[in-house]
Amino acid sequence: MRDLSDRSLDTAVQLGASYADVRVVHRRDESIAVKSGRVEGVAAGESEGFGVRVLVDGAWGFASSSRLATAEADRVAADAVRIARASATALRHRVRLDDRPRAHGTYETPIEEDPFAVPLEAKIDHLLAADEAARTVDGVAFTETRYDAQRETRTFGATDGSWTEQTFTHVGAGIEVNAIEGDDHQRRTYPDADGGPFKAAGYEYVRGLDLVGRSGPLAEEAVALLSAPQCPSGRFTIILDPSQLYMQIHESCGHPTELDRVYGTEASYAGTSFLTTDKLDEGFRYGSDLVDLVADATAPGGMGTFGWDDEGVAAQQVPLVQSGIFVGYLSSRETAPRIGRQSGGAMRADGWNRIPLIRMTNVNLLPKPGLSLDDIVASTDDGLYLASNRSWSIDDRRLNFQFATEVAYEIKGGKKGRLFKNPTYTGITYEFWRSLDAVGDASSYVMLGTPNCGKGEPGQGGHVGHGCSGARFRDVQVGVGKW
C-alpha cells in the first residue's frame, strides 16, 4: 500500500498539486438478519480501493478507484489534478490549510474477542435464541434480530510525509419486536432500532447485551402498547432516557456544531446551522448551566474514536458547550483557520471512494455528579419518561426539531407508571437545552451512537458516538399531530 500511495502522491505533485493526500482502505463486514425465526440474510463483504485528494491552484480535486495497481495510481492522481483544475474555473477563495504536525503512527480499536473469529453458527444461534424468546409472547406480529460487524484498515499518506495506519472494529446487535392490531403498529427495540447502536469493540459487546434475557420483556411491552392510551398533548416535564437522548444530541448538538455547515458547504443537501460564528464570539447561551458537551475522539468504545482523522490530525477532545455557553465547533484544516483556530480533527471519510467531511466524532453530554437517573425520576412529581427513538426530524438550520419515541412512561409522584403510546415532542433547539434542569450522574452514562449518519453528496454514512446519562427538561411541547 505504501508503494501505491507514494506513487499517487508523486504523480499528483508532478502534475502540479501543491498538496495531496491518499487513503487506501480495506473494509470487511459481516451481517446476519433473523426475521421471525427465519435466517433471512447472512452476508460477508469486502471493499477496497484508494482515493487521492489534491489541491491545485487553491482548488480541490478527488478521484478514486477500486483497482489497486500502479498504472491506476497514475491515472487516478492525474484525474484528481484534472478535476481540481476544473474546480479552479469556478473558484472565489483559494483553499488554505492550517499547519499540523506531521502524522506518524498506528492505531487499533482495542477489542477482547474478535467478532470475525466467532463461529458463524454461534452468532446465528445467539440471534435465533433472542428471536425465539421474543416470539413466545402472545400478540407479537413479527420480530427482527440483527448482528453486524465491520473492520476497516486505513492508511493515510500526504505530501508532507505523513503516514498513519489504523484498524477499526465496530460491532452491533439488537432486536426489534413488532405488534400489530388493525391500523395500529407498535414497536420496541433493544438496544436501538436497526440493530444498533454499534460500538467500537469486539464480540464481548454483543455477549454483554443479554439479547436473550431482554427479548421477552421487550415483547411484552410492544404488545402492551397496543392497548395503551395515546400519549397526551400539552406542555410537560420530560425525562429522556439515554436511548432517546443520544439522538437529541446527535441532531440538535452534533450537526449544528459542524463548521462546514456553518459556512454553507452542506446547504443544498442537509442544510446549514443556526450556530453562526458570531454566536461563538458573543458566547451564545446554548443551554442551561448544566449543559457540557464535548466532541471526544478519544472516548473508549465510541464509534467516533480514532488515532488520527482523515487529514492526519490527531484525535482530541474539543469542548463544544461549557456550562451552557457555546464555545467550539467540529472543524477541519480548511475551516478552523477561518475562526482563528487549529483543526479539531473531525474530518472523516466513508470508505476509499469518498472525500473526508467534517463529521461528529463522539459528541457527548457529560454526566453531572449528584443525581442518578433514578433520583431524577424520583424528584419529578408529574411528567413523562421517554425512551427508544422511533422518528427524528429537524429543520435545515437545526432549530425546529420533532422526535417520536417508542414508549412513554407516566411519572406521578416520583414513580414511573403506566405506558403511553405514540409519544412525540417538539421544540426549538436552544430553548429546549436551556430548559434542562437535571443531568444523570455517571451511573447511567452509556456510549451510544449511530452507524448511519448521513451527510454529503455523494452520500456518506458516518459512524458516530454519543455518550450520555439521561436528562430532564421542563415545559416541553408533547403530543404533536392528529391521532
Partner 1 sequence: MSQEARPEAPSPLDTLAIAERAVALAEAAGGTEVEALVSDERAQLTRFANSEIHQNVAETNGSINLRVAIGKRVGVASSNRLDEEGLRWLAETATAIARNSAELEDWGGLPEPTPISEIATAWSDGTAGATPEMRAEGVRAVIAAADAAGVRAFGSFSTAAEHLAVANSKGIRAMQRRTTAQLLTVHMGPDGGNGYSEQASVDATTIDAAAVGRDAAEKARASATPQSVDPGDWTVVLEEPAVVDILSMLAYMGFSALAVQEERSFAEPDKVVGSELVTIVDDATEPGALPMAFDYEGVAKQRVVLIERGVCRDVVYDAQTAARGGVTSTGHGLPAPNSYGPFPLNMVMSAGATSRDALVGEMERGLLVTRFHYTNPVHPKLAIVTGMTRDGTFLVKDGRIVGPVRNLRFTQSYLGALAGVVAVGSERRTLRGDFGGVLVPAVRIEGWTFTGATEH
Per CB under 8 A, 91 contacts partner 1? yes
Q: Figure out which of the listed residues 19, 49, 168, 222 binds partner 1, where binding follows CB under 8 A.
A: 49
Stretch that binds partner 1, among 58-66, 103-111, 302-310, 463-471 (CB under 8 A): 58-66
| Number of Cβ within a 10 Å radius of residue 283 | 12
Nearer to partner 1, 54 or 291 (CB): 54
Q: In what order do the strands lie in the sheet with 317-322?
A: 325-326, 317-322, 293-296, 363-365
Q: Figure out which of the listed residues 6, 18, 42, 167 binds partner 1, where binding follows CB under 8 A.
A: 42
Nearer to partner 1, 70 or 106 (CB): 70
Per CB under 8 A, 136 contacts partner 1? no
Per CB under 8 A, 31 contacts partner 1? yes
Sign of CA dihedral 442, 446, 447, 450: negative
Per CB under 8 A, 256 contacts partner 1? no
Beta-strand relationship, 163-181 and 104-108: parallel
| Buried residues in 229-254 as b, exposed as e (16+ CB within 10 A) | eebeeeebbbbbbbbbbbbbbbbbbb
Q: Figure out which of the listed residues 6, 48, 113, 437 binds partner 1, where binding follows CB under 8 A.
A: 48
Per CB under 8 A, 391 contacts partner 1? yes
Nearer to partner 1, 50 or 306 (CB): 50
Report the distance separating Cα 342 and Cα 420, nearest Å: 48
| Buried residues in 320-352 as b, exposed as e (16+ CB within 10 A) | bbbebbbbbbbbbbbbbbeeebebbbbbbbbbb
Q: Figure out which of the listed residues 397, 435, 461, 474 binds partner 1, where binding follows CB under 8 A.
A: 397
Nearer to partner 1, 15 or 240 (CB): 15
Residue 299 CB partners (closer than 8 Å, separation 6+): 305, 362, 364, 447, 465, 467
Site for partner 1 in 427-446 (CB under 8 A): 428
Cα atoms in the Cβ-side hemisphere of radius 13 Å centred on 96: 10
Q: Figure out which of the listed residues 20, 61, 312, 383 binds partner 1, where binding follows CB under 8 A.
A: 61
Shortest Å distance, C-beta 414 to partner 1: 30
Shortest Å distance, C-beta 381 to partner 1: 27
Per CB under 8 A, 250 contacts partner 1? no
Stretch that binds partner 1, among 77-85, 276-284, 291-299, 309-317 (CB under 8 A): 77-85
Shortest Å distance, C-beta 102 to partner 1: 25
Per CB under 8 A, 232 contacts partner 1? no
Task: Say how far residue 226 (Cα) sits from the centre of its chain.
Answer: 31
Shortest Å distance, C-beta 438 to partner 1: 26
Nearer to partner 1, 323 or 452 (CB): 452
Q: Figure out which of the listed residues 6, 18, 57, 83 binds partner 1, where binding follows CB under 8 A.
A: 83
Closest to 211 in 3D by CA, of 194, 225, 191: 191
Q: Figure out which of the listed residues 21, 72, 241, 309 binds partner 1, where binding follows CB under 8 A.
A: 72
Per CB under 8 A, 194 contacts partner 1? no
Q: Figure out which of the listed residues 227, 393, 443, 452 binds partner 1, where binding follows CB under 8 A.
A: 393
Stretch that binds partner 1, among 100-108, 303-311, 319-327, 386-394 (CB under 8 A): 386-394
Q: How would you write 41-83 as a 3-class SS string?
A: EEEEEEEEEEEEEEEECCEEEEEEECCCCHHHHHHHHHHHHHH
Per CB under 8 A, 120 contacts partner 1? yes
Per CB under 8 A, 325 contacts partner 1? no
Q: Which one-letter amino acid corresponds to residue 14?
A: Q
Nearer to partner 1, 404 or 464 (CB): 404
| Number of Cβ within a 10 Å radius of residue 65 | 17
Report the distance separating Cα 164 and Cα 460, nearest Å: 22
Beta-strand relationship, 424-428 and 436-439: unpaired
Whether the Cβ atoms of residue 391 and residue 412 lie closer than 8 Å to each other: no
Nearer to partner 1, 6 or 74 (CB): 74
